[in-house]
Structure 1
Amino acid sequence: MNLLTGIESTDLFGGDVPPAVLQLIDRTRGRGKDEVAAVLWTTVLSYPRCLPPYYLLYKFHANRGELGEAQGVATKALAVAARQASLDSDWCAVQPGDADFTIPGPGRFWLFTLKALAFISVRRGERAVALKLIAKLRRLDPIDCVGLDVVEALLAQSGSR
């Protein structure tokens, strides 16, 4: 299913993606990696308050092993989502009850992006950072709406190497 137009989009982002953003994203289909990166960056810069392109861009970089770039984009996405969800700009200061992370919208996207940062930290070998992020995620999402088990399994696996 298309993340930007299907159930996943509504569950994660809390609404429809603007048609102009969809048109830009559609231009990435069948393109080379450099063109995809250029279109995604153009979309993020052209629509800086639209959350889905940030997700696509940090996932794109992470999938290519460009973890520094992925971390940078995810950090920007976290800041944009924090503003939209009226959360503290410092993720360490966010507390349970600051937002309802179980409902679609910027708060849930913020939580999902925090998970992405934990995943990226594990892949970068930043174990202490990953552990701190995971602990925060467990406090904010005790019922695990965002699937933190995958990150914890990756962390456990990386610790056994």
Structure 2
Amino acid sequence: MNLFTGEEADAFFGGEVPPAVRHLVDEARSKPREEAAVALWTAVLASPQALPVYYLLYKLHAGQGELAQAQRAAERGLSAAAAVAGLPSDWRQVRPGMADFLQPGAARFWLFTLKAQAFILLRRGEPAQVAERLEHLRLLDPADHMGASVVAQLLAQHDVGVRPTTSGC
């Protein structure tokens, strides 16, 4: 079952969850939010290359309005995805052609997590950091396959004093 939708699914965004930490993810599904977060952070510590766990964490924290924790999870997820995909650790140094960002895998997860970071930063009220990430997303994904234009629209609304109301990443 998907931790956030309640739908039956064994697939996770970002790839497979290693068996060594699968029980922690399964445990998180049946626990209250606070205990779910503890189980997922434990999974990250036990298997830092398990990309889906970062996604679950930043979605969980962002959905609860815990934006500092969501940002921390996204930062760590971005770093882990860069390592798995063979990308530079500094997202600003990633250039088109360094990876195939459209194929399922670590590079696509990296690009999606950069977008998630932009959204989280928008909700935190950090528009300059959002704009910086959006500019980089446009460079890496000019056809907007990841949907960064949605975050750009929210940023434009934010810049004219309209607060975004959506809570997803």
Distance of 1:22 and 1:148 partners within structure 2: 30
For residues 66-93 of structure 1, the C-alpha deviation after alignment (integer angstroms, 9 at most, x for no partner) is: 1111111111111111111111111111
Q: Secondary structure at the match of 1:27?
A: helix
Q: Which moved more, 1:146-155 or 1:39-48?
A: 146-155
- Distance apart, 1:17 and its partner CA: 2.6
Two-structure CA RMSD over aligned residues (Å): 1.7
More helix by share: 1
Q: Secondary structure at the match of 1:96?
A: coil
Q: TM-score normalised to the size of structure 1?
A: 0.89
- Cα contact 1:74–1:117 (8 A) shared by 2: yes
> Does structure 1 residue 137 correspond to structure 2 residue 137?
yes
Q: Could you list the runs of 5+ residues in structure 2 that have no partner in the other structure?
A: 4-8, 162-169
Total equivalences in the alignment: 156
- Distance apart, 1:58 and its partner CA: 1.2
Larger RCO: 1 or 2 (CA < 8 Å, sep 6+): 1
Distance of 1:129 and 1:113 partners within structure 2: 14
Q: Secondary structure at the match of 2:29?
A: coil
- Cα contact 1:62–1:70 (8 A) shared by 2: yes
Question: Which residue, out of 10, 13, 18, partners 1:5?
Answer: 10
Distance of 2:72 and 2:91 partners within structure 1: 15
Q: Could you list the runs of 5+ residues in structure 1 that have no partner in the other structure?
A: none
Q: TM-score normalised to the size of structure 2?
A: 0.85
Runs of 4+ in 1 over 4 A off after TM superposition: none
Distance of 1:144 and 1:22 partners within structure 2: 32
Distance of 2:154 and 2:30 partners within structure 1: 31
